Structure 1
């Protein structure tokens, strides 16, 4: 169970990073949308796991690798955005959120498309 502070910090990080990704993706990966679906912050606020969703998902591994390479850039952007609220900017760990892929698989299975083991 996350504390109230963790939830507030996570929400703040999500908003700041969403805006940063919107600007960055339009320059680096035109035609792709990168959204921050969830941010989980450790109890001591030293590590933040950022779950990103990439659409369309044809280049998701390449884009995620580029995001991980540019982690210091995003940490700098985040530190400027939350400087008045936090003294130390946590370490950022980016993870790919595959929930949209899973939803699509379930939707296709319900429609009778693809490999459905039940039918």
Structure 2
């Protein structure tokens, strides 16, 4: 996994990583079980790739992707529309003492991996790698 960083360019603390992972697991479980009272959202299969915490642990940014990578904007709109209920369910199901603000973004990791594979498959790059 790529090393994440804060806005100030510093690496995240162990506490930020631990809390982010706890929220990621709980959020994944909430979305998988369809606990949110939105039938549109419950029909979607959503992967939570990573949750990054702000240094003060007040903001959690979840990087999500719909299964198959289709309907990204629709998925993003659905989770954002239900963010307050999702926040309540995540805190209820987790071990956090307070509820961080939840923000959602599309996870671009798979797109980056595809672009890297395409670059490495280019004949000019292959030639340079073989030399």
TM over 0.5: yes
Q: Take 1:109 and 1:54, find their aligned partners in 2: how far apart are those partners? A: 25
Deviation at 1:96, TM superposition (A): 0.5
Q: CA RMSD in A?
A: 2.5
Q: Which residue among 51, 54, 70 is the counterpart of 1:58? A: 70
Deviation at 1:111, TM superposition (A): 5.0
Taking the TM superposition and a 5 Å limit, the aligned residue runs for 1:16-95 are: 16-24=26-34, 28=40, 30=43, 32-82=44-94, 85-95=95-105
What CA deviation, in whole Å up to 9, does each residue of 1:58-112 have, x standing for no partner?
Answer: 2111111011000011101111012xx3321100010101221232344345556
For 1:102, the equivalent position in structure 2 comes to 112
Give the count of matched residue pairs: 111
Q: Take 1:65 and 1:15, find their aligned partners in 2: how far apart are those partners? A: 21
Deviates more, 1:7-16 or 1:103-112: 103-112
TM-score of the pair, normalised by structure 2: 0.72
TM-score of the pair, normalised by structure 1: 0.78
For 2:13, the equivalent position in structure 1 comes to 3
